[in-house]
Chains A and B, each alone.
Chain A
């Protein structure tokens, strides 16, 4: 492990052991009277753990100050996310500190909730389960989210005790179609993983792998490994889907095909490939059946079926066949209908045709989410659910009432005689219907283990004293199942024993190391994959698209996933990457669609499908094809706390409740949708003032040729916005012809950040990290409408006015200019230029004239219009190293000066200079694609100094002579 990581995780062993076994950390939260040995007031401790916000299972490091976690970052040692983390992962904190988090068990007695002590609650659970077990077999059922193997095993043993079948795993997104296709094409009943980084061309039939698909952080990293400019080359990426997801927005080519016609496109490609003589090595029967199956899909037919330009399809096919290492990905997270089975199957087969050995598909490290049961099974489970068959139903952190509206879940749970137990920490829609709520410890508070993929195991440990007296879920189950004499004193013991039994962790020393590193990532891989099936039952029936009727597509949101994120203020506040709308759930529609319904942007419409209705404001965009409506899943909760309740709408209610016959999965699209104007308008809380750049040099692109070949001499420098040269914020950046002011030196360091627009995918993780690190206020929809959002770092999204489907993202934060216009205009020196080139903002000195903000060409300064509130205990999350600002002062990005100061301290102690890369501002630290770099411009060897030599380097509005220290590298664009 590299040095930094060791520093971070040192000492974890002892405290976690202490925390785990003897000492009761909660005593040490508020008053550090007896601190654990390694807790030093004012010094942060880092605990390795695992993110449980989605099934991907990224490794995290939790930063703990005085016994409470103040920030979650990716674990650099973890193979899945390699130190990065998405915004959802970081927002896990806000679940722990959520003001409406339940702190005691709740019992429902004739409709009224009553707080219970833990012993009482557990006693009740034991009594109920014992009774159920006594009453016969299979009368205790467990419905759980995806969980680690150990907990699954424990559930299994417990349910054995109760003579009941093992738990049923429920995930709203269970990839049924993909699993089916994998079974058919690969003979694998599960979810294989992919090596995007090894491909040189990606064709994607809708898989939104930058947002939610299987393992977004991992795939985002891999994607940029193949798609960012390297050695003057970058891989190609084509996306085929009716809606422009964030993933599609990052593609070189987005083909807005008819819904459910992706399969046809893939078949068209198969046909082309076979024609060009590919797939000779395929087993004959497969080849024959493929040929016959793909025969009808001539380019013309495909173009017609999918309603995509034929020439685009041809160019794509040409690229595909020219590619050395192509890789085809299946349909979206929310793509599990019959058509999606076809599409995924076609994708898999296309992979086999192009690369018979499937070298870029990893059968050993399969994604754990594959353990989730198909939707059909879940629906069936609830159909059968009745007091006659079941006495106790334990729901572990699932919210089927929200996820499966119209499936009669509520009725099922409401049945008298059925004792429903929920382990959720929040009164969500489902928990409201439970009889007993056991708000067990949350992932960062308890012991567990979770492997997001096979052949790796990732640990969870208490990174903080629990805010509540709650035991861990494992402990509860242990006690409930084994009563007085459990085989293990607690779940940690169970876990440790089990792992050592499996030879994963052997002895205390390995255990401590396991905890320090955050898991074991080098487990022996499963046996090589079974031989691929020689015959594949191919039955393609591309769903005919009724052009006339509207189709509504519900897509999982990068912010809320399946809706569990909807109660985290940060996720609501940070706007959607594409629409830039925060807090609300607009209905995305194409201008033509709106025109044909006499609708205008921000009109509120009633959306009616065969299964339900809702009202939502429309958002005009070419990001969906005509005839298609798109809406994000996740909001529109009827419960689940102040931030989620009645914010936005839930499109799931419009979808067919029953599972698809072929795939056994749900269909996240509804046809024959009717739009009826309500005549009302709803101002959209969007953070962008304009979607285009108005011909200004802000977010720039460069064609691959220009970026790749250095022969072209640099353009003649001038004084206008068009031809102003790059002027480094260093003495050499000054030219007596241009500069009225003399150059000035800095003391050893001149901090600077380089943003590679070619790597930025616009996911917003950096923004979330900034909120978390710098105690930025959350203002809510109304204030955003008033233009008072506080984000220090915003992702500016610009569309190309020539072709609005072309999107570019630009992270904008304080530019720490050498000649910062904001500084001189302040009457009290609140902002001024530091010895190390930073643009300091002294909160105590600021009197709020706001002139600095007015004079900032980048408008990155944020003013505290009010004193923003952090309802208890959200305030416990605040970073003690950063002042929390109050009303009337200006604030802005500081390059995480607290981290710079810390690095100075360390360097001083070891009496050396600060090393290049030693300082990682929060945004940079978490960026999944490594788009940001930070360092000292005065060090000629530093990374940033090297990068600014790149011919893509430029400064936003450089012609104003501000000499920004944030230097951007143009995005490299290419055509397919």
Chain B
């Protein structure tokens, strides 16, 4: 049976290519058409969302490995596939530099000394370093996680060749691999927390340079893991649907994954409320005005409710039920919905600042949708490439003994 998620899958490739073309077109059109703000807003949000999915996806594997979870089985391998988006994510980050003029509302504001931290060179320097570190460690982990699973073939070359050759190297005893894998996994998790906090502060929170929330960093990486799991579930569900029993993905695995997903849905909701209640109760305009603009005033108020409904209330109500968690089709829809919700949540956080607090209506529309689809196809292609490179991952195999 031939895998769906593969570069050899013509319809998929053509479709993705088309979407990307359209997206690029829209983006350029907007840049030219006098809405560079909007274009870059969409770009930034998509960069954040899709990178988060990739980073969160890999985190699943690392985390499960560290806690010695025994139920994950193939899910870990699938999670590792998301690392394929890392290079793209990194390039996309560099792309932000082009749009810096439109991306940082504080550029021409008096920051009362905050310039020390909020200035473009330093910001890009530290985030560059941060992402480099994060992805470096990610690949380090991937390398140790992946290599043992590979079945060496004579035609191996390139990356795969390197992987398999290393696999045969005598000094690389399984224990050694495990040990290294653990170390890299741990480092990746730590980097995940730190770097995503940094990204959250720099690319989201500081859009309103006078607003602070200490939880924002944690909120960012919890969110990332939340949608990372979402992405993973979708991927797994696709595998399950296309490969059936052969996918080696049991419904109990979906159940457990669903429970984890549910748990992080709650954590996200908790972090959302935890910030809201403290700021609402404190009633200090320096911080409350940020929330007021987004949650209590037009045009943003409806969006806030939409986000909370889509990203929390709906999944909360549905995921209590056990069976739903084990229904691939349903989970694909739900997770997609949640990812959209989180996309809108980014818009809610960033939008007002981008519109310089003067938006008459919520600045979102077809263009954003098209651009988003473009990014999605990027992700799809990355995954497809990875699957082709490592068919061991693309297809089910004898359950590993981690």
Pair B283/A961 contact, Cβ less than 8 Å: yes
Question: Of A172-180, A657-665, A719-727, A783-791, which binds chain B?
Answer: A719-727
CA distance A819 to B284 in the complex (A): 10
Whether a CB of chain A sits under 8 angstroms from the CB of B289 is: yes
A817 to chain B, nearest CB (A): 11
Pair B112/A961 contact, Cβ less than 8 Å: no
Pair A738/B289 contact, Cβ less than 8 Å: yes
Whether a CB of chain B sits under 8 angstroms from the CB of A282 is: no
Whether a CB of chain B sits under 8 angstroms from the CB of A959 is: yes
24 residue pairs A–B, Cβ–Cβ below 8 Å:
A719-B210, A719-B286, A719-B289, A720-B112, A720-B210, A722-B112, A724-B285, A736-B292, A737-B293, A738-B288, A739-B283, A739-B292, A740-B280, A740-B283, A740-B288, A740-B292, A740-B296, A819-B283, A959-B284, A959-B285, A961-B283, A961-B284, A961-B285, A961-B288
Whether a CB of chain B sits under 8 angstroms from the CB of A824 is: yes
Whether a CB of chain B sits under 8 angstroms from the CB of A960 is: yes
Mask for A731-765, Cβ within 8 A of B = 1, else 0?
A: 00000111111000000000000000000000000
CA distance A961 to B210 in the complex (A): 16
B251-306, CB < 8 A from A = 280-281, 283-286, 288-289, 291-293, 296-297
Which of B210, B283, B288, B296 has the most C-beta atoms of chain A within 10 angstroms of its own C-beta?
B283
Contacts of A740 in B (CB 8 A): 280, 283, 288, 291-292, 296
CA distance A960 to B286 in the complex (A): 8
In the complex, the chain B residue whose C-beta lies closest to that of A737 is: B289
B282 to chain A, nearest CB (A): 8
CA distance A514 to B387 in the complex (A): 109
Contacts of A736 in B (CB 8 A): 292, 296-297
Report which B residues bind A (CB closer than 8 A).
112, 210, 280-281, 283-286, 288-289, 291-293, 296-297
In the complex, the chain B residue whose C-beta lies closest to that of A825 is: B281
A821-858, CB < 8 A from B = 821, 824
A92 to chain B, nearest CB (A): 46
B154 to chain A, nearest CB (A): 68
Pair B289/A959 contact, Cβ less than 8 Å: no
B208 to chain A, nearest CB (A): 10
A737-B292, A738-B289 given. 13 additional CB < 8 A pairs? A720-B286, A724-B285, A738-B288, A739-B288, A739-B292, A740-B288, A821-B283, A959-B284, A959-B285, A960-B284, A961-B284, A961-B285, A961-B288
Query: Could you say which of B112, B280, B281, B292 contacts A738, with CB atoms under 8 Å apart?
Result: B292
B33 to chain A, nearest CB (A): 31
Contacts of A720 in B (CB 8 A): 112, 210, 286
Contacts of B289 in A (CB 8 A): 719, 737-738
Pair A959/B286 contact, Cβ less than 8 Å: yes
CA distance A824 to B286 in the complex (A): 20
CA distance A722 to B113 in the complex (A): 13
B43 to chain A, nearest CB (A): 29
CA distance A437 to B283 in the complex (A): 65
Contacts of A739 in B (CB 8 A): 283, 285, 288, 292
Contacts of B285 in A (CB 8 A): 719, 724, 738-739, 959, 961
Report which A residues bind B (CB closer than 8 A).
719-720, 722, 724, 736-741, 819, 821, 824, 959-961
In the complex, the chain B residue whose C-beta lies closest to that of A819 is: B283
In the complex, the chain A residue whose C-beta lies closest to that of B289 is: A738
Which of B284, B291, B297 has the most C-beta atoms of chain A within 10 angstroms of its own C-beta?
B284
A615 to chain B, nearest CB (A): 49
CA distance A719 to B289 in the complex (A): 9
In the complex, the chain B residue whose C-beta lies closest to that of A824 is: B281
Contacts of B296 in A (CB 8 A): 736, 740
B268 to chain A, nearest CB (A): 22
CA distance A741 to B289 in the complex (A): 11
B355 to chain A, nearest CB (A): 15
In the complex, the chain B residue whose C-beta lies closest to that of A722 is: B112
Contacts of A821 in B (CB 8 A): 283
CA distance A431 to B297 in the complex (A): 76
Contacts of A824 in B (CB 8 A): 281
CA distance A741 to B283 in the complex (A): 8
Contacts of B284 in A (CB 8 A): 959-961
Contacts of A719 in B (CB 8 A): 210, 285-286, 289
A521 to chain B, nearest CB (A): 53
Contacts of A961 in B (CB 8 A): 283-285, 288
CA distance A821 to B292 in the complex (A): 19
Which of A738, A740, A819 has the most C-beta atoms of chain B within 10 angstroms of its own C-beta?
A740
CA distance A720 to B287 in the complex (A): 10
The 5 nearest A-B residue pairs measured at CB? A738-B285, A719-B285, A719-B286, A740-B288, A961-B285
Contacts of A724 in B (CB 8 A): 285
Contacts of B281 in A (CB 8 A): 824
In the complex, the chain B residue whose C-beta lies closest to that of A740 is: B288
CA distance A824 to B281 in the complex (A): 9
Contacts of B291 in A (CB 8 A): 740
Contacts of B280 in A (CB 8 A): 740
Which of B210, B289, B296, B297 has the most C-beta atoms of chain A within 10 angstroms of its own C-beta?
B289
A757 to chain B, nearest CB (A): 25
CA distance A741 to B291 in the complex (A): 12
CA distance A821 to B284 in the complex (A): 10
In the complex, the chain A residue whose C-beta lies closest to that of B293 is: A737
CA distance A738 to B289 in the complex (A): 5
CA distance A736 to B291 in the complex (A): 12
Contacts of B112 in A (CB 8 A): 720, 722
Which of A720, A737, A824, A959 has the most C-beta atoms of chain B within 10 angstroms of its own C-beta?
A737
In the complex, the chain A residue whose C-beta lies closest to that of B292 is: A740
B217 to chain A, nearest CB (A): 22
A736 to chain B, nearest CB (A): 7
CA distance A718 to B112 in the complex (A): 12
In the complex, the chain B residue whose C-beta lies closest to that of A724 is: B285
Contacts of A960 in B (CB 8 A): 284
CA distance A377 to B284 in the complex (A): 68
B281 to chain A, nearest CB (A): 7
CA distance A740 to B291 in the complex (A): 9
CA distance A720 to B286 in the complex (A): 6
CA distance A741 to B296 in the complex (A): 10
CA distance A824 to B277 in the complex (A): 13
In the complex, the chain A residue whose C-beta lies closest to that of B357 is: A737
In the complex, the chain A residue whose C-beta lies closest to that of B286 is: A719
Which of A719, A722, A736 has the most C-beta atoms of chain B within 10 angstroms of its own C-beta?
A719
Contacts of B210 in A (CB 8 A): 719-720
B135 to chain A, nearest CB (A): 38
CA distance A724 to B112 in the complex (A): 14
CA distance A819 to B283 in the complex (A): 9
A896 to chain B, nearest CB (A): 28
CA distance A724 to B210 in the complex (A): 13
Contacts of B292 in A (CB 8 A): 736-740
Contacts of A722 in B (CB 8 A): 112
Contacts of A819 in B (CB 8 A): 283
CA distance A336 to B334 in the complex (A): 93
Contacts of A741 in B (CB 8 A): 283
CA distance A436 to B296 in the complex (A): 81
Contacts of B288 in A (CB 8 A): 738-740, 961
CA distance A339 to B210 in the complex (A): 61
CA distance A724 to B284 in the complex (A): 11
In the complex, the chain A residue whose C-beta lies closest to that of B279 is: A740
CA distance A734 to B318 in the complex (A): 41
Contacts of A959 in B (CB 8 A): 284-286
Contacts of B297 in A (CB 8 A): 736-737
CA distance A737 to B208 in the complex (A): 15
CA distance A736 to B289 in the complex (A): 9
CA distance A720 to B281 in the complex (A): 18
A823 to chain B, nearest CB (A): 12
B144 to chain A, nearest CB (A): 49
Which of B285, B286, B288, B296 has the most C-beta atoms of chain A within 10 angstroms of its own C-beta?
B285
A932 to chain B, nearest CB (A): 28
B279 to chain A, nearest CB (A): 8
CA distance A846 to B380 in the complex (A): 64
In the complex, the chain A residue whose C-beta lies closest to that of B297 is: A736
